[in-house]
Structure 1
């Protein structure tokens, strides 16, 4: 069966497999050039403006989602001055629709229609069924439950709190006309703040008492899929979405808060779907082998690929031969 999987996967254009049929990219995981020394301005600009890069396509795409949300699907500040079930329920339903649009789209394309097959899939197995460790004995249904019934309510609750605070002048409000440069710069800095916050919350969740009681639920997904990204215990959701508390201190517009919240909620699907981009005939840059390695070996890669916290603190795993001697890879390469 293993060799059958390998032979089938050998049709990939690049990459290599181990004896279990698990696939990895032909290049080791690396960080963005932002914190490299010496600094290379040309390399940084290419990363910042190139495709795929820091701006294009995903941050720009999700900024578009945020702008559409704010202008067409967000209750007015006037409505948000008092807590009312109507606008709160509206935001909750809107967020549920967004999560189904993103996670559901990845799942439909990669796991139902299987348009990519197992090509460039880190683990050749599909999602688990019949396993008692998952609710309903089904990994996908388990992940959908925790995403929709734990993560989305906490995501919505934070947004509701902040919309009420903006509407009532409880937190500093940033207008475009007052500080246009900072208004724009904040959008570029929010992903950096998100990664900083994620690393430290994530390390705390790997503290043994927290991991055993709360974070282990997320790590049931050794072979994650799109719905696994937000499959979290409520306690973890509380900490994870606290990333937007920065806006209680630093002046910002509701657009900044929504952008921060939606990146936090919607991007994990692309980092957990289990495939390395570009996929779908090389058209879609996506995937995170960096984070897949964290699910595979939970003591490595607590952060993401922007700020090299894991390198600084000795928990970095790049997926290469010399950093993983316990699982020798076979040189099965496609030509």
Structure 2
């Protein structure tokens, strides 16, 4: 692959795509049926499909029956935690090993020209971004997310969450599962804007933003408060009539889906040949500039509506700098 056919590389070795980010086509008028169908395919394949398939596997093979779930016990809770930990380790580990250890495509399509291992820093545990991010992800965030998942399954089993059955409401539940990633986007945008507020940023979110050059291990590297808020998306099942499977799926959408914005590459060379678009650029720009793209490039254009959208173009850069200048003027005036 020659990445210079698809973008440019600056003197520091950072690569940027020539094609700018676009909002989903159904927000444009008149909508194009072909583009809408293409977007729907991209919505499902591959990242959301991974969450759907893994959630189904966990539901069939790991989550115990309702009778067991009615009693809050260490046995089934640790079983679920072990499955989550090992599954996520294998999934994230594959991307880390292939693209950051073996470096099968070197720096082709890599947004930041350097690898985290080349940038030791005192902001990380053991001065290593890789070690720091791994420990925070798998010893902090995954246990917190699993604890929320366990409590929700227990609540459903005891009738403390509004539940409907698949036999009576199958169409409704299928639609709910398909729309769950949209719920995750909106939830993420709200908590993300909140933890960018000064004190919360310094005490909580700065932990994640230490990784200016994100990699797969960065995906769930969070302060415990942020981890609880992030996986708290599954708590919406306490308000929305649904099914315990939705709680499992929302955990998987958050856990397995977090990697998308932290892959660090625009395209990924596949083992059998060819390449897969990563959809990571919008969130990379957030890590680079901090105050843009709080919701990445999702199905709901919340960043466009709230004035924090950056599409990677010179115009997006100009608008961002204007916002920063106005913010600086307000702070100076205060």
* Same fold? TM cut 0.5: yes
CA offset at residue 54 of structure 1? 1.2
CA contact (8 A) 1:146 1:231 kept: yes
CA offset at residue 244 of structure 1? 0.9
CA contact (8 A) 1:102 1:269 kept: no
Which position in structure 1 is the counterpart of 2:233?
Answer: 243
- Decide whether aligned partners of structure 1 residues 127 and 245 sit closer, same or farther in structure 2, where only a CA change above 3 A counts: same
**CA distance in structure 2 between the aligned counterparts of 1:255 and 1:11, rounded to whole angstroms:** 41
Q: Does 1:79 align with 2:68?
A: yes
What is the Cα-based RMSD across aligned positions, in Å? 1.9
**CA distance in structure 2 between the aligned counterparts of 1:101 and 1:37, rounded to whole angstroms:** 42
Which position in structure 1 is the counterpart of 2:302?
Answer: 309
Partner of residue 118 from structure 1, selected from 84, 107, 122: 107
Deviations 1:3-26 (A, max 9, x none): xxxxxx966442112222210111
Q: Secondary structure at the match of 1:24?
A: strand
CA contact (8 A) 2:99 2:105 kept: yes
Which position in structure 2 is the counterpart of 1:62?
Answer: 51
- Decide whether aligned partners of structure 1 residues 322 and 35 sit closer, same or farther in structure 2, where only a CA change above 3 A counts: closer
Partner of residue 134 from structure 1, selected from 124, 128, 135: 124
Which position in structure 1 is the counterpart of 2:315?
Answer: 322
**CA distance in structure 1 between the aligned counterparts of 2:88 and 2:210, rounded to whole angstroms:** 21
Stretch moving more, 220-229 or 283-292: 283-292
Q: Secondary structure at the match of 1:179?
A: helix
Partner of residue 46 from structure 1, selected from 30, 38, 41: 38
Partner of residue 263 from structure 2, selected from 254, 261, 273: 273
Q: Quick check: which one's helix share is greater? A: 2
CA contact (8 A) 1:290 1:301 kept: yes
Unaligned 5+ runs, structure 2? 321-334
Larger RCO (alpha carbons 8 Å, 6+ apart): 1
CA offset at residue 34 of structure 1? 3.5
**CA distance in structure 1 between the aligned counterparts of 2:189 and 2:289, rounded to whole angstroms:** 16
Partner of residue 184 from structure 2, selected from 188, 194, 217: 194
**CA distance in structure 2 between the aligned counterparts of 1:174 and 1:285, rounded to whole angstroms:** 37
Which position in structure 2 is the counterpart of 1:94?
Answer: 83
Deviations 1:188-228 (A, max 9, x none): 11011110110010000100010011000000011000010
CA offset at residue 325 of structure 1? 5.6
**CA distance in structure 2 between the aligned counterparts of 1:196 and 1:127, rounded to whole angstroms:** 30
Unaligned 5+ runs, structure 1? 1-8, 328-335
- Decide whether aligned partners of structure 1 residues 312 and 288 sit closer, same or farther in structure 2, where only a CA change above 3 A counts: same
Q: Does 1:27 align with 2:16?
A: no
Q: Secondary structure at the match of 1:324?
A: helix
State how 1:273-292 maps to structure 2 within 5 Å. Answer: 273-280=263-270, 281-292=273-284
CA offset at residue 326 of structure 1? 11
CA offset at residue 151 of structure 1? 0.5
**CA distance in structure 1 between the aligned counterparts of 2:250 and 2:125, rounded to whole angstroms:** 30
CA contact (8 A) 1:151 1:237 kept: yes
CA offset at residue 283 of structure 1? 3.1
**CA distance in structure 2 between the aligned counterparts of 1:138 and 1:45, rounded to whole angstroms:** 43
Q: Does 1:16 align with 2:11?
A: no
CA offset at residue 38 of structure 1? 3.5
CA offset at residue 66 of structure 1? 0.8
Deviations 1:299-328 (A, max 9, x none): 11111212111111111111112333699x
